[in-house]
Amino acid sequence: MTSPAFPFAISAGGRTETVSGDEELAIMVLQVLRTALGSRINRPDFGSRLDQMVFASAGDQLAGAVEVLVRSALMQWLLDKIEVRTVDVAVDDAELIIRLVYSSLPERRTVVQTFSQSIGFG
């Protein structure tokens, strides 16, 4: 299965760029986690509350809350596509580093994805 690339792009041949496999799953994960709740008109419950963590106080409580937030958002929206193995959250100065390990379904290939989000000072 293939999907349009994100962000949307046109290839040199004038066709829509597409992605598939692990790259497609990685894009889906980022779309779920980086989409603010309420920002999609026809699907206001799509996304996560990760954007609300920008102004949270950095610390162990923030890391725990982000872990639960990430796990629950992915389970809600990608339950039939991935199995979340681990979510490790680290706070480093003004950056939230999330290391996510998941397996693709039904193949069960394990994928490791790391991304960071800037946070405010609380």
What CATH code would you report for 2-118? 3.10.450.40
At residue 74, the pLDDT reads: 93
The neighbour count for residue 29, using CB atoms within 10 Å, is 23
Residues near 105 by Cβ (< 8 Å), separated by ≥ 6? 80, 81, 82, 83
Residues near 72 by Cβ (< 8 Å), separated by ≥ 6? none
Q: What is the pTM of this model?
A: 0.74
pLDDT bucket at 42, cuts 50 / 70 / 90: very high
Structure tokens at 108: 């069960």
Return the closest-CA partner of residue 82 out of 35, 16, 33, 118: 33
Averaged confidence pLDDT in the chain? 80
